[in-house]
Structure 1
């Protein structure tokens, strides 16, 4: 079967993992080109995996006519511009979340995506492809918990990663706590509740790391949202989780409840020592969602080969971004924000 030839931009922590998946783990995909503004990253990946082309300029990579698709894993502030350029150059496009960091730019990029409707476009909301999250969706659709009325989401990054975030945030615009971290939870809420948020109130602060407030962001925050169909969402996010990477989701229905990831287990091993029994926690998102990162791109490749659209659309990217931006606005102003799409 035909192999889809990829060029990837962005070789940071997540970008390098995506590049490795494309190069070695995804059937019918071939990583032909890598791009980063950091030349050392390009040189290292090219040499390590024998990648044919390396670039430090995104526009130059787009001139490579051997490529079929562009994978965008660069900092969030560059996503919309690179999406537009890649589609205009004739490529299929997969972009990491968020779609963008302002409402205006995501609405503009939506027009571009719809203009190039012959190309396959997909946003990386990988949790929809995690087996546990997909199983929960099946349970909801079968009516096993009745009508979903509330969703509660925890998205906590490990404290050990906070210095890496601070280094990144000083040089790039992440979009803030809710756009950067809660965007997956906001997308899941829309997916599970089958509705769009109408108003949101968010609070937060920087408690263990006051320097985060100096970049107009929060270390830990909570948002409360109401949806069009009367359902509710509670979203807690933090960059400072002492015990590790903790992603937890609860969907409460009229006849039952689903919980995903209540204990952030690294695996099924329990360690028994004289100090007691210990269940080790996941160290980060790459470990917890390893399967999901593979599955979402496998689906993207299949969509190109079979010439069909993925279930995750540009509209999902737009509406999740608008909701995330509303959380950011509420946090910054301290006011209840009504959402307009």
Structure 2
């Protein structure tokens, strides 16, 4: 059995998803691609020999050869496209975030719940990273006792700042755009929902973000309902590369993932000293995780299973991000129901 997939969005991540489906995912076939950028569609369709290419998402949904849709379009399009694809009878994988407004996110949640016969999976790929999964296993086996605190750094390379500025108007803000991955990890590792959120931050290097009510560096402190704690730092101005670091502290020890964002196991010694190169972006750091999550999506369709990551995970993580945005704007602690 082969799952025939239509992919919408062919930017950096969208193209990686499409390439994985076309060449690396077992029992999957990239049958159609869609983008509002005509050149992206034409290039992928011809060079990879893809049967169908579309410039309009609704037109792609008319293709009854397809079994599933993978959404990697702009965040502002996610909720609408999720709803349309499910209503048209397709299984759906959607990149994070679920959406950029709580009202539309809750409507999308209702649609996903209504179409419970379809597989819906959200793209929190870090859960499919081998190191993060290994850390989860060690925690569940009691190696650090009971988790009491999580510390997360999510630092984007400053080399990507122009793209971040260009996207800022529709990103939903630093916490929604970047820290939402860490908020999901916190819920996963601590087995609890957020209770109260306090956030601070500013435009320390790039005032351009202020035009959109956004920031280039921010931090959040969260207390969870089981009284565990979370410390989160997000930045768009990292000079040494793409730095994703997570530490979970327990009553008997701790576990860290990505303390140094090594590119590989190579150490270079020369006139500049002893150096280790760092990963340059999220595509490089989580290359295997992106592959694993789409494989899981396809496997769930074939075996009629539900993914571990649900629409509720998307809603809860965005709720935390919006609480952080509100705390940043008001200077007040925000309580979540």
Question: For the superposition of Structure 1 and Structure 2, which TM-score range results when normalised by the shorter chain?
Answer: over 0.9
- Cα distance, 1:176 vs structure 2: 0.7
Separation in 1 of the partners of 2:326 and 2:84?
Answer: 29
Deviations 1:234-268 (A, max 9, x none): 11001110000000000000000000000000011
2:247 paired residue number:
250
Separation in 2 of the partners of 1:294 and 1:174?
Answer: 24
Q: Does 1:72 align with 2:71?
A: yes
TM-score where L is the length of structure 2: 0.99
1:156 and 1:240 in contact (8 A); partners too: yes
> Alignment partner for residue 303 of structure 2, among 296, 299, 306?
306
2:177 paired residue number:
180
2:58 paired residue number:
59
Separation in 2 of the partners of 1:329 and 1:116?
Answer: 32
1:11 and 1:74 in contact (8 A); partners too: yes
Separation in 1 of the partners of 2:78 and 2:149?
Answer: 31
1:157 and 1:238 in contact (8 A); partners too: yes
- Cα distance, 1:58 vs structure 2: 0.5
Separation in 1 of the partners of 2:273 and 2:94?
Answer: 44
1:191 paired residue number:
188
Q: 3-state DSSP class of the match of 1:188?
A: helix
TM-score where L is the length of structure 1: 0.97
- Cα distance, 1:216 vs structure 2: 1.1
- Cα distance, 1:196 vs structure 2: 0.2
> Alignment partner for residue 227 of structure 2, among 230, 234, 238?
230
Q: How does 1:99-248 map to 2 (within 5 A)?
A: 99-170=98-169, 173-248=170-245
- Cα distance, 1:167 vs structure 2: 2.2
- Cα distance, 1:210 vs structure 2: 1.0
Separation in 2 of the partners of 1:225 and 1:15?
Answer: 32
Separation in 2 of the partners of 1:307 and 1:145?
Answer: 35
2:168 and 2:209 in contact (8 A); partners too: no
Q: Does 1:262 align with 2:259?
A: yes
Separation in 2 of the partners of 1:326 and 1:288?
Answer: 28
2:30 paired residue number:
31
Q: 3-state DSSP class of the match of 2:267?
A: strand
Q: Does 1:316 align with 2:313?
A: yes
How many positions carry a matched residue from both structures? 337
Separation in 2 of the partners of 1:248 and 1:51?
Answer: 38
Separation in 2 of the partners of 1:193 and 1:324?
Answer: 17
- Cα distance, 1:212 vs structure 2: 1.1
Q: Which runs of structure 1 show a deviation greater than 4 angstroms over 4 or more consecutive aligned residues? A: none
1:101 and 1:325 in contact (8 A); partners too: no
Deviations 1:17-47 (A, max 9, x none): 1111111111111111111111111111112
Separation in 1 of the partners of 2:323 and 2:43?
Answer: 40
- Cα distance, 1:165 vs structure 2: 1.6
Separation in 1 of the partners of 2:83 and 2:69?
Answer: 11
- Cα distance, 1:168 vs structure 2: 2.8
2:197 and 2:223 in contact (8 A); partners too: yes
Q: What stretches of structure 2 of length at least 5 have no aligned partner?
A: none
- Cα distance, 1:169 vs structure 2: 2.9
- Cα distance, 1:215 vs structure 2: 1.6
